[in-house]
Amino acid sequence: MEEKISKFIIQSFFAKLEDSLTVDVAIVGAGPSGLIAAKELAKAGKKVAIFESKLAPGGGVWGGGMLFNEIVLQENIIPILDEYAIRYKTTGEGYVTADAVEVSSALIYGAVHAGVRIFNAVRVEDLAMRDERVCGVVINWNPVSRLEMHVDPLVITSRAVLDGTGHPSELINLASKKAGITLDTPTGKVMGEKPMWMENGESSTVINTKRLYPGLYASGMAANNAMGGFRMGPIFGGMFLSGKKVAGLILEDIQG
C-alpha cells in the first residue's frame, strides 16, 4: 500500500507540472491580487499557473491586522465578496469586515476551481527573456534557495508574467537590476514603497497596477512599490480591484 500511495502522488504531481511547463500567464505570489487575477484569467479560458514561495497561499490576508484575523474592505467590494460567497459584517461607516481565514480560503478555492494551478513552496529566482520581452519564469524549490544549495532550476514559459510578490516586488526589482531594463515608471526604476497612508494607498494600488515592461505586469503592493505608492495595511479592497484590473490588462495584450 505504501508504495502505491507514493506512486499516486508522484504521478499526479508530475502530470500537473508537465502540463504547466508552458502557460498563458505565470503569476508569482498567491496573495489576494494574484489569486483574483488568476481566477479572472482562467475564467476567460487562459492557462494560468501561480508560483508561491511559502507553504500556504493567501499572502498577507491570513493574519488580518497584527494577528487579529479580521480584515476591512470598502462597501464597493461587496459584489466581489458575494462572487466568492465570502460573508461579511457591515460597519455602517462605508466599510465591511470579514474573517481573514475565510477570505484567504475562498480566494484560493475560487482560483483552483476556475482551473488555476498553484505550486506552493516554489520560488521564482529569475526571469526568462527573449527579444526585449519577458517570456517566462525560472523556478526552484524554496528550501533549495533557502539552503543555498547549488541546484539548477527549471523554466516555465509564458505569454505574460505577473509580479504579485507584495511589498518587495521581487520580479520587478530583478528585471530592473539584473536585466537592466527601463521600467514604465516615472524614474524608469523601482521607486520604492512610501510609509502608511491607508486612503491614498488603497487608491494608488489600483492606479499603479499596470504593465511595466513587455510581458511583465505588477499588481497589489508589488505595483505600489514599483511606482512609489503608499502602504495601506490590513484593508484589502484595493488588492481585490487590482487583481481584476491586471487580469483585464493582460487579456487585452494576449488575446488571440
Residues belonging to the binding site for Fe cation are 152, 167
Residue linked to cell 508589488: 222
Residue with cell 512609489: 228
**Separation of alpha carbons 227 and 63, rounded Å:** 26
Longest dimension (CA), the chain: 60
Annotated binding site for NAD(+): 33, 60, 124, 150-152, 221
- Known binding-site residue numbers: 33, 60, 124, 150-152, 167, 221, 231
* 64 Cβ neighbours under 8 A, 6+ residues apart: 70, 71, 100, 234
Looking at this protein, which amino acid is placed at residue 166?
Answer: G
* 202: phi then psi, degrees, rounded to nearest 5: -65, -45
Rounded to an integer, what distance in angstroms lies between the CA atom of residue 72 and that of residue 196? 16
Binding-site sequence positions for glycine: 231
Cell of 203: 487608491
Residue 64 phi/psi, 5° resolution?
A: 55, -135
Give me the sheet containing 95-99, strands edge to edge: 70-74, 95-99, 89-90
Neighbours of 194 (CB within 10 A): 15
